[in-house]
């Protein structure tokens, strides 16, 4: 086997020690899971942005609140997070408003609490699996480094049985070990980039949700006086 064949990536992985191969396999599995959730979050965050923009246009176009509420109820499985927040707040508002003797501040506070509870559920859904991407980005390089250190130790132990240590003798073992670090970086870099991007997008959506809740609460405050 010539030097080029010995130093090919597949050959290095195949000839690596069992511990290094286990580390590589673990990192490859984590990398595939990371890419799976990157694409899932990409579509879900984009869908949330589109649905939020659409509902904001419908809401601020002057549409009747009762019509918007009925639309949200009838299409509950296709609505976005902001529309579900609106539905929860308006439902609680109408329920409390229908009770005689209820103070206006209690009505608005009840609607705000209902919106806040739905807001928390929506944010939990948007932030799901972001912690996994953060963990992959922070831990994968160290796992790869563990495989590298073990592989280098294994390579140097093999030199003890040789009378003369040469670069040609030690290079394949060190190269095998370094592949583990390369795979660790391959898993970590996309995860870190995706985590930062999705965190930024989710934070922007959260700000839009919170701004809507405050503005909608002001509208409900005015409507609470109308009995």
CB of 41 closer than 8 Å to CB of 196? no
Mean pLDDT by 10 residues, the chain (227 residues): 50 70 90 96 95 92 87 84 94 87 85 95 94 94 88 72 61 75 92 96 96 93 74
CB of 111 closer than 8 Å to CB of 90? yes
Cα dist. 11→22, 85, 88, 210, 226 in Å? 15, 55, 59, 55, 78
pLDDT of residue 170: 64
| DSSP code per residue over 150-216 | HHHHHHHHHHTT-SS--HHHHHHHHHHHHHHHHHHHHHHHHHHHHHHHHHHHHHHHHHHHHHHHHHH
pLDDT of residue 35: 96
Range of the domain at 153: 3-223
**Number of folded domains that form the chain:** 1
204-211: list long-range contacts, CB under 8 Å, 24+ apart.
205/45, 205/48, 205/49, 205/52, 205/81, 205/126, 206/123, 206/126, 208/52, 208/56, 208/82, 209/52, 209/81, 209/82, 209/85, 209/119, 209/122, 209/123, 210/119
pLDDT of residue 135: 95
């Amino acid at each position: 086997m010539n030097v080029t064949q010995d130093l090919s990536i597949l050959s290095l992985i195949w000839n690596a020690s069992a511990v290094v191969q286990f580390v590589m396999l673990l990192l490859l599995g984590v990398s595939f899971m990371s890419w799976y959730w990157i694409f899932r979050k990409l579509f879900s965050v984009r869908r949330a942005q589109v649905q939020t923009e659409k509902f904001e246009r419908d809401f601020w176009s002057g549409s009747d609140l009762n019509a918007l509420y009925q639309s949200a109820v009838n299409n509950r499985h296709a609505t976005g997070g902001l529309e579900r927040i609106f539905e929860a707040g308006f439902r609680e508002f109408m329920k409390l408003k229908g009770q005689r003797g209820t103070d206006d501040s209690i009505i608005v506070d009840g609607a705000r609490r209902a919106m806040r509870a739905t807001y928390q559920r929506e944010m939990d859904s948007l932030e799901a699996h972001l912690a996994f991407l953060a963990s992959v980005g922070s831990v994968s390089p160290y796992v790869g480094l563990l495989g590298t250190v073990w592989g280098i130790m294994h390579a140097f132990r093999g030199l003890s049985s040789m009378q003369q240590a040469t670069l040609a003798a030690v290079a394949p073992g060190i190269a095998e070990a370094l592949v583990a670090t390369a795979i660790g970086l391959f898993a970590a870099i996309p995860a870190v980039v995706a985590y930062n991007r999705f965190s930024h997008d989710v934070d922007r959506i959260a700000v839009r949700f919170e701004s809507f809740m405050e503005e909608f609460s002001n509208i409900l405050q005015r409507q609470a006086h109308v009995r």
